[in-house]
Amino acid sequence: MSLDNAVWLLTGLAAVVVLLTRMRLSSEQSQSGHALVPLAIVNAHTLFGVGALAAWIYYLNSPDDTWGLVALLLWWIEVVIGLLILARWVSRPSKHATETTGDSWAEGPGLSVLGHIGMLLGIGFFTWIVLADKLSG
């Protein structure tokens, strides 16, 4: 597999993580349970994710170092917001909340940990791609 194909594959996976995170956090807004995330933070997470995807795809189609750097900035903001949300979920369960109901995604934060740690590693890889100028074309 060429490096370019690996980058496109990871871009698709990043899009899936952004979409699934939005869907999961939006569905939790109507549930009782632990560490609900304010809708403004969910919206910021989604906005930076979609912006990062758009800038990144533009960069991949016409490698311009400026767009690559803009995309990286948006990706890193996205990753930090995601990891902070995840840290809140894992470390601060509410003392007075009932168990989360209707969470058909997974039992506990395992899926989110996988997605967000994977995203951190993927964005680290994207950073190397841009800074080392590894894209062909």
Mean pLDDT of 30-55: 80
DSSP letters, 46-95, are: HHHHHHHHHHHHHHHHS--HHHHHHHHHHHHHHHHHHHHHHHHHHH---S
Q: Which residue has the tokens 């939790």?
A: 28
Distance (Å, rounded) from C-alpha 86 to C-alpha 1? 32
Asked if the model's pLDDT at residue 51 lies above 90, the reply is: yes
pTM of the model: 0.81
Q: How far is CA 43 from the centre of its chain?
A: 12
- Specify the pLDDT at position 97: 46
User: Which residues, other chains included, contact 59 with Cβ-Cβ below 8 Å and sequence gap of 6+?
Assistant: 67, 68, 70, 71, 130
pLDDT classification of 28: cutoffs 50, 70, 90? low
Distance (Å, rounded) from C-alpha 98 to C-alpha 23? 21
User: Which of residues 8 and 88 earns the better pLDDT score?
Assistant: 8
- Specify the pLDDT at position 105: 53
- Specify the pLDDT at position 58: 95
Asked if the model's pLDDT at residue 98 lies above 50, the reply is: no
**Which structure tokens are listed for 7?**
């980058």
How is the chain split into domains, by residue range?
Answer: 3-131
- Specify the pLDDT at position 37: 73
DSSP type of residue 55: H
Cα 81 to Cα 63, 78, 119, distances in angstroms: 27, 5, 12
Asked if the model's pLDDT at residue 41 lies above 70, the reply is: yes
